[in-house]
Amino acid sequence: MIYRQSFSLLIVFSILSCITLRGYGQLNRNDSLDLKPLINKVIQTYPTIQQANEALNAADIKIELARSAYLPNAMVSGSYAHIGPVPSLTIPNMGSFTLAPVDNINAALNVNQTISDFGKTKKSIEYEEKSKGLNSIGLEQVKQRMSLMTIGCYYNLLYFQEAIAIKEEQLSTLNQHLKNVEKQVETGSATQYEILSTKVRISTVESQKTDVITALNFQNSLLNMLLGEPASSQHRVRNILQTDMVPLSEDSLIAVALNNRNEMKLAEKKVIVSQAYQELVKKHENPVISAFASGGWKNGYIPELNKPKANYAIGLNLSIPIYDASRTKLNAKLVGSTIQSNRYEVDLTKRTITNEVMESINTLKAAISKSKLFEMQFSQAKKALELAELKFKSGTLTNLDLLDVENAESESRLMFLKARIDRVVSAIKVKAALGMNLY
């Protein structure tokens, strides 16, 4: 049945539950940093995550700002005016009367309260609340992305630091062989060719070690950037090669991913938010009824024009939009186009996630196969080395032949380590593809 889908996924994920680098004791040497605290520190301190958190705070402020439309506006006002000529009235046989004071003073408290905007404020609040959901999902996306980056850096460090240890072992063995060959040359049982060949091997391994150290320093620099630590800080990571997965069929995994992935939630949320904004735009044509009240002190009242008196005014305002050059209608059409575009994004995201899930599963299958293959090769290389050492002691194997076998064993051990790490990282990427939190 087509290779039983290459592997029965049930078997694949059962194997995943016990992934570990057993039998490789060097990985526990000088343990230092653990993975989970590293991820936690990155999430707590990395500027991009803090920026996303601040966007969430800003969303809360926007919601409160939208709600403030329900509250009254109050303002204290005051004015002074010196006028001239002063209006007056002359009545025959009665004389002249001043109708306003020369110095006019007015102080008042003015209050305006919206009574009804026929749903405009309500839609504005709903829009801001739904927009906050975008920020929340965006924050989770950033956390997941930074967690995956930290995990990748962590396991690269693990590989390079152990690769250096293997190269150091190779150099130690080669230097010991060089000493032995030099002694054999003195007794005539070896030639200068063997010395030169051994030195060439030493030079090659030293060059390889230099490359690995350079790669290790690069990963150290990346980790320092993630942690916000000085660029010169050096780290050694702890061996954490273990992960758990849930045994599911491929169709079930895709369904889980489409339900869990933040990318899918974000795409669907964009449709909802754009629909909410469309409803808000339509409400811009609604009338607004508001009440106003004003009270204070001012002069100018007959007959004592210069004496300030308490006064008040209470009333209603009605504002009805009649013509806005079709701006509201055009904006509604524009938002409609955005909604359709966001729906296309939902469809594209579904396809992308489906592809990522299948790709991560296939990568994991390949990593498990390679891990088993390199485990077998490493076992064979160890046995070959044991036999070669016996032959060398009995004099039936040359020094250079023994070096070839030792080098093959070291390289096999390094490839086995890399395969195990790739297997764990592939399993973690499956978790990420399924939308499972890595933090």
The average pLDDT across 415-429 equals 93
Is residue 69 over pLDDT 50?
yes
CB 361 within 8 A of CB 9: yes
SS3 425: helix
pLDDT at 306: 87
Is residue 60 over pLDDT 70?
yes
The average pLDDT across 285-291 equals 93
Residues of the chain with pLDDT > 90, as a percent, come to: 67
* pLDDT band, residue 248 (cuts 50/70/90): low
* pLDDT band, residue 305 (cuts 50/70/90): confident
User: Residue 155: inside a domain, yes or no?
Assistant: yes
| Rounded CA separation 430/436 (Å) | 9
User: Residue 438: inside a domain, yes or no?
Assistant: no
Is residue 8 over pLDDT 60?
no
pLDDT in tens, 365-384: 999 999 999 999 999 999 99
Tokens of 63: 């919601």
The average pLDDT across 276-296 equals 92
Lowest-confidence pick of 14-18, 53-57, 183-187, 364-368? 14-18
* pLDDT band, residue 246 (cuts 50/70/90): low
Is residue 90 over pLDDT 70?
yes
Domain count, the chain: 1
Is residue 181 over pLDDT 70?
yes
pTM of this prediction exceeds 0.85: no
User: Residue 194: inside a domain, yes or no?
Assistant: no
pLDDT at 326: 87
Strand partners, 82: 103
Note down the domain range covering 257: 2-70+122-179+211-283+353-433
| Rounded CA separation 298/58 (Å) | 43
pLDDT in tens, 306-344: 889 999 999 999 999 998 888 888 999 999 999 999 999
pLDDT at 249: 67
The average pLDDT across 30-55 equals 89
Rg over CA atoms, the chain:
39
* pLDDT band, residue 191 (cuts 50/70/90): confident
Residues of the chain with pLDDT > 70, as a percent, come to: 91
User: Residue 291: inside a domain, yes or no?
Assistant: no
DSSP letter at 13?
Answer: H
| Rounded CA separation 326/332 (Å) | 10
| Rounded CA separation 137/132 (Å) | 9
H/E element holding 78? strand 73-82
User: Residue 87: inside a domain, yes or no?
Assistant: no
| Rounded CA separation 243/165 (Å) | 25
What's 381's domain CATH number? 1.20.1600.10
| Rounded CA separation 40/226 (Å) | 11
pLDDT at 94: 77
In this structure, which long-range contacts are made by residues 311-316, counting pairs with CB atoms below 8 Å and at least 24 apart in sequence?
311/108, 315/291, 316/115, 316/289, 316/290, 316/291, 316/292
Closest Cα to residue 63, out of 128, 123, 135, 121? 128
Is residue 22 over pLDDT 60?
no
Closest Cα to residue 48, out of 140, 152, 156, 153? 140
| Rounded CA separation 423/415 (Å) | 12
pLDDT at 79: 94
pLDDT at 358: 93
User: Residue 302: inside a domain, yes or no?
Assistant: no
pLDDT in tens, 338-358: 999 999 999 999 999 999 999
pLDDT at 233: 87
User: Residue 324: inside a domain, yes or no?
Assistant: no
User: Residue 225: inside a domain, yes or no?
Assistant: yes
* Sequence-ordered list of residues with C-beta below 8 angstroms from that of 154, at least 6 positions apart, any chain: 33, 35, 38, 223, 237, 240
Lowest-confidence pick of 83-97, 384-398, 403-417? 83-97
